[in-house]
Structure 1
């Protein structure tokens, strides 16, 4: 029995086009690849900015002071995403 990832990797490649909509493709294939579609949704939904939203919009400094946060932003994002992907 092949895995969802094996099935996805065995797909015929979609020809490269300027108007290809990756979000639409994943939406159309969500039932076939539910876990991969959830991962793609989370990855494709990430903001393109390298600046944390707190730093961009807060004039008084970070919302969570560094001494109160024991996990890095990347660790928190990974935990949130992995929790969603395992559902």
Structure 2
């Protein structure tokens, strides 16, 4: 494959990633609503650590575990903001 083929593949993968992130955001919004109703905090450090442990365990590479965790730190930060905004 040449560079344009790889770029097309990346574009297709990005579209899939955006759809999955949107689905994750819908789930986070639903959880945020349940937290609001139950008077639970948006920020749950133990749960976030569980997510990091899970994605590191599921990581096949080539990103190092610390790199995949950095990606998820940002995703979770955005989801936490979404939960606060919608509460």
TM over 0.5: no
- TM-score, length-scaled by structure 2: 0.32
- TM-score, length-scaled by structure 1: 0.32
Question: Which protein is richer in helix relative to its size?
Answer: 2
Q: Which of the pair has the greater relative contact order for Cα pairs under 8 Å at 6+ separation?
A: 2
* Structure ID, larger Rg: 1
